[in-house]
Amino acid sequence: MSAPLRLGLAGLGTVGIGVVKIVQAQAGLIAARAGRPVAITAVSARDPQKNRDADLSAYAWETDPVALARREDVDVFVEVMGGHEGPAREATEAAIAAGKDVVTANKALLAHHGQALAEAAEAKGRLIRFEAAVAGGIPVIKALTEGLAANRIKRVMGVMNGTCNYILTRMQSAGLPYDAVFEEARQLGYLEADPNLDVGGIDAGHKLSLLSAIAFGTRVSFDAVELEGIGNVSIDDIRLAEDMGYRIKLLGVAQLTGRGLEQRMTPCLVPADSPLGQLQGGTNMVVLEGDSVGQIVLRGPGAGMGPTASAVMADVIDIARGLRLPTFGIPATALAQPVPASSATPAPYYLRMTLLDKPGALAKIATCLGEAGISIDQMRQLHRPGDRAEDAVVLIVTHKAAPADVAHATGRFAATGVLVGQPVAIRIEEV
């Protein structure tokens, strides 16, 4: 059998220890499937004395991940530290410069620096593999770069942050407000150290930008992703959507149109009986649409020790087998510079607003919509316990309308003099 593929593992948190456990527990299976043994030779972490619930005694230690990346006894640098600057970036650049292949779970690093890193790696004849960076254990990168390689991808869509999906489904099932479920998620350890990475849509936006690059052959353009988090989704919206047969999801959608590359990660209503609508808890789902294959749905755990480490090791085994692919499916220098485009695809919209309960109030709102060319499909006035007697909550579902027209209409609501607070507008996505 060939010589072992030697790994340098930077980061011994949840995912790093998961990698250690798989390498130790499945050594024979991995060697049989990869055609050669895979072994960890050195690791890097700040505190060698910390109890990590794994036997690390056989590995050399480096407190500096850059030193690990440059070691002579490392063939593949495995980066699971996280962060798009600092040690993760410096060590990855050092590994490439030293002629190592790189496997990473770091979606932020690639979303911000993927183009430069890919060009540097490919100029050296090296690989960057990142299955674990997008949707945890779901093999979506492999699906795009290999299984669907003969397809022109029409649309990428999905729920890509398990914490947000947990919060929204918990609100729906328990009838709890956002703040209560947010705190519950914090107590359970589901939130990042900076919670806005999760609930602000940033983490999921990183993932969408990476999928877009592969799907459409464009440079990673995270800065062009339209981001809106879930902080403004109320329990009222959850309940009203459910009454109409919908669920609210933080949904990523990317498509290449004649206007340019549309990328958005925003709350949307989806049919409750659709695969996305039925997605519960921390599970992720990615929907890929190809011109030949049609629509395929990939569903599975989007985070956690086992699923993410499984994805890391899938990349490692591909390298051991000799599979060599460009970082984003085609050579980095051939990736097109995308033209960012705001979403223009018409869709129905859910509108919720509070109006002064007086004659003609609703007619003024309807006039704003009509003047913007938006027709009303459903309309409902609600009276809820605790509402002021002089206020009325109005729910409107529109027929298909262009996003710009909806923004124009809702922007004019304030001038009517009948609006109380800010209106809520949520796109209804057809899936």
Active site residues: 207
Rounded CA-CA distance 125/118 in Å is: 10
Strands 101-104 and 38-44: unpaired
- With tokens 């798009």, the residue in question is 84
Give the helix ranges, DSSP H, for 58-106.
65-69, 87-97
- The β-bridge partners of 356 are 391
For residues 332 and 42, the answer to whether their CB atoms sit within 8 Å is no
Retrieve residue 400's tokens: 């298909």
How far is Cα of residue 98 from the mean position of the Cα atoms in its chain? 31
Classify residue 313 as left (phi > 0), alpha (psi -120 to 50) or beta: alpha
List of residues 6+ apart from 351 with CB closer than 8 A = 395, 396, 397, 398, 406, 410, 423, 424, 425
User: Could you give the CA distance from residue 90 to residue 129 in angstroms, rounded to a whole number?
Assistant: 17
Hey, how many other C-beta atoms are within 10 angstroms of the C-beta on 173?
11
Residue 234 · residue 177 · CB < 8 Å = yes
Rounded to whole angstroms, the Cα distance separating 431 from 424 reads 22
Helix (H) or strand (E) holding 180: helix 178-187
Instruction: Report the alpha-carbon distance of residue 355 to residue 379 in Å, rounded.
Output: 14
Contact predicate 355/392, CB 8 Å: yes
User: Phi, psi at residue 405, to the nearest 5°?
Assistant: -70, -40
Question: 339: number of CA atoms within 13 Å, CB side?
Answer: 5
In angstroms, the Cα distances linking 59 to 25, 245, 306 are 16, 55, 21
Question: What CA–CA distance (Å, rounded) separates 297 from 140?
Answer: 10
